[in-house]
């Protein structure tokens, strides 16, 4: 299979030979011919390329799409993210990720459109791999929901995140409905951070009043029930408007049960989980001298039983996305995890852990090589489904003729110990220090260009391009004939439903 041959001495700029390719649906052996940054041919015994890579029968997979990471993002306090678009995308490439989707964050009182413009100013010209933007909506005014969001969706910013917790980000239920209504009418995907803010504040205040401020109390102030309640409430609000949503960074069985319940009722509820909910536990928040602050994130890591539930949900299709939720704060230094030194109470520790570079290797090693996931499910979770859910398919997330030549040749079998000193981010720790994995990218191609090879980053700033996103098919409401909500028919008569216009097929 190939498209029309190119002129000149060599029909391809690059040929990857003897590849054992896996997509989300198939496994096959082939050569891969690349021309002008895209896959031009899949066949055995292709003619020579100007450059050649011998995959030698190794797994050759689509480059990862990390659809949930934070780079150079504005914060509402004095914390500073350690990774900008240069260091963050460099780290991603060295871990086999070729597309990232970080967040243009609106702070309360600010214009969302201006937040997007500001984010381009810190991103453009620095990225080593391709990128798109989600938006964070923290101030859902009428101006934002009725004017700015529809305009931005039409310009290729077709997904946004809303929070049910954090004082400087959270929306109340009515504001959430306003945002979901906009998403429904204009074909955008809404991501939801689902934790019950009032429950968390009530528990945290009482712990702090008793002098219980060490990192382990962060986990105790955010027990599974607060995630379960908010997940159910988010699903209910989405059901009210028959609007697809995606619940992000799900941590354990309580929230998983709510999502699975909704999916079995035919609701378009999607879900994501992250490495911290497979490889960390609440015990990692312990330790001396605020060491556990390194693993403070929300929701917090749970326990071994939760790990098993998350693995099962990855395997059975409850989760569609496996992202890093990379939130890079340094442990030491100004703007990092200890704004008040070693006496920093848990509620003032910046939330988040690094994970862009280790995401794929951890899941490949412990999922595929340990038999918990098949290779097709791995590709679906880490590349194909994120690309589809956020309007980047079929250009990203697969190995197919016409797709961008974002390709990773994997080395498997030989043990490798994760050491922060070997990683390429700008964070002074990894929560996975000392863990042994048996898979790591050997070569990463971004649009046909080698950006990482055998432990060395060989890309450059500015190679990455901004990607406007299509309206994803997954964000469309169900057809009216499948609805059991007569109030939606009334609303549709007041304001016609335009969600299906322009959606990615």
Instruction: Concatenate the DSSP letters of all residues of 217-258 into one string.
Output: HHHHTS-HHHHHHHHHHHHHHHHHHT--EEE-S--SHHHHHH
pLDDT band for 505, please (50, 70, 90 cuts). Answer: very low
pLDDT band for 366, please (50, 70, 90 cuts). Answer: very high
Q: Helix or strand or coil: residue 270? A: strand
CB atoms closer than 10 angstroms to residue 492: 14
φ and ψ of 239, to 5 deg:
-65, -40
Tokens of 26: 């198939």
Average pLDDT, the chain: 94
Residue 65 pLDDT > 50, yes or no?
yes
Q: pLDDT tens digits for 201-211?
A: 999 999 999 99
Average pLDDT over residues 84-97: 98
Q: pLDDT tens digits for 239-275?
A: 999 999 999 999 999 999 999 999 999 999 999 999 9
Q: Give the pLDDT score at 76.
A: 79
Q: pLDDT tens digits for 409-452?
A: 999 988 999 999 999 999 999 999 999 999 999 999 999 999 99
pLDDT band for 77, please (50, 70, 90 cuts). Answer: confident
Q: Give the pLDDT score at 365.
A: 98
The whole-model pTM stands at: 0.95
Q: Give the pLDDT score at 484.
A: 64
Q: Give the pLDDT score at 482.
A: 63
Q: Give the pLDDT score at 287.
A: 74
Q: Give the pLDDT score at 4.
A: 42
Q: How far is it, in rounded angstroms, from Cα 356 to Cα 69? A: 7
Residue 132 pLDDT > 50, yes or no?
yes
pLDDT band for 80, please (50, 70, 90 cuts). Answer: very high
Q: Give the pLDDT score at 493.
A: 56
pLDDT band for 186, please (50, 70, 90 cuts). Answer: very high
Closest Cα partner for 160 from 144, 143, 142?
144
Q: pLDDT tens digits for 161-183?
A: 999 999 999 999 999 999 999 99
Average pLDDT over residues 128-135: 98
What strand order describes the sheet that includes 134-136?
A: 103-105, 134-136, 159-163, 189-193, 245-247, 269-273, 321-322
Q: Give the pLDDT score at 3.
A: 44
Average pLDDT over residues 24-30: 98
Residue 1 pLDDT > 90, yes or no?
no
Q: Give the pLDDT score at 479.
A: 76
Average pLDDT over residues 106-116: 96
Tokens of 344: 């920093």
Domains observed in the chain: 63-391 (3.20.20.140)
Q: Measured at the alpha carbon of residue 373, what is the angle toward residues 279 and 452, in degrees to the nearest 5?
A: 70
């Amino acid at each position: 299979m190939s498209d029309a041959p190119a002129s000149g001495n060599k029909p391809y700029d690059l040929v990857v030979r003897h590849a054992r390719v896996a997509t989300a649906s198939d496994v096959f052996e082939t050569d891969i011919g690349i021309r002008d940054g895209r896959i031009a041919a899949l066949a055995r015994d292709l003619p020579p390329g100007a450059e050649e890579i011998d995959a030698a029968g190794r797994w050759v997979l689509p480059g990862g799409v990390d659809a949930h990471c934070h780079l150079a993002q504005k914060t509402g306090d004095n914390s500073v993210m350690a990774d900008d678009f240069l260091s963050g995308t460099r780290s991603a490439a060295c871990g086999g990720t070729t597309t990232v989707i970080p967040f243009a964050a609106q702070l309360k009182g600010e214009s969302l459109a201006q937040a997007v413009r500001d984010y381009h100013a810190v991103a453009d010209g620095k990225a080593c791999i391709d990128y798109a933007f989600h938006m964070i909506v923290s101030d859902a005014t009428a101006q934002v929901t009725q004017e700015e969001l529809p305009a931005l969706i039409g310009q290729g910013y077709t997904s946004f995140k809303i929070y049910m917790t954090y004082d400087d980000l959270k929306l109340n239920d009515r504001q959430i409905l306003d945002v979901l209504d906009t998403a429904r009418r204009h074909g955008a995907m809404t991501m939801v951070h689902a934790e019950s803010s009032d429950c968390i504040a009530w528990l945290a205040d009482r712990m702090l009043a008793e002098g219980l401020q060490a990192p382990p109390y962060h986990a105790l102030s955010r027990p599974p029930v607060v995630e379960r309640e908010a997940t159910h409430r988010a699903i209910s609000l989405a059901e009210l408007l028959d609007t697809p949503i995606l619940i992000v960074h799900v941590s354990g069985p309580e929230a998983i049960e709510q999502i699975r319940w909704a999916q079995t009722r035919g609701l378009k509820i999607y879900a994501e989980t992250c490495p911290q909910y497979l490889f960390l536990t609440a015990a990692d928040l312990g330790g001396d001298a605020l060491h556990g602050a390194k693993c403070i994130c929300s929701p917090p890591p749970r326990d071994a039983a939760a790990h098993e539930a998350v693995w099962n949900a990855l395997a059975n299709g409850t989760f569609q996305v496996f992202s890093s939720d990379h939130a890079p704060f340094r442990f030491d230094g100004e703007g990092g995890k200890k704004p008040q030194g070693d006496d920093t109470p848990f509620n003032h520790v910046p939330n988040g852990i690094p994970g862009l570079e280790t995401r794929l290797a951890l899941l490949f090693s412990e999922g595929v090589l340990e038999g918990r996931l098949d290779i097709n499910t791995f590709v679906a979770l880490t590349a194909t489904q994120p690309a589809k859910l956020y309007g980047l398919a079929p250009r990203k997330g697969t190995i197919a003729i016409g797709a961008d030549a974002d390709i990773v040749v994997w080395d498997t079998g030989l043990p490798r110990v994760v050491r922060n000193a070997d990683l390429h981010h700008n964070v002074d720790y990894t929560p996975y220090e000392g863990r042994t994995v048996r898979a790591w990218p050997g070569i990463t191609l971004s649009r046909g260009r080698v950006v990482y090879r055998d432990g060395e980053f060989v890309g450059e700033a500015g190679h990455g391009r901004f990607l406007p996103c299509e309206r994803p098919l997954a964000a469309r409401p169900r057809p009216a004939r499948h609805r059991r909500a007569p109030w939606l028919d009334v609303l549709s008569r007041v304001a016609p439903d335009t969600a299906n216009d322009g959606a990615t097929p």
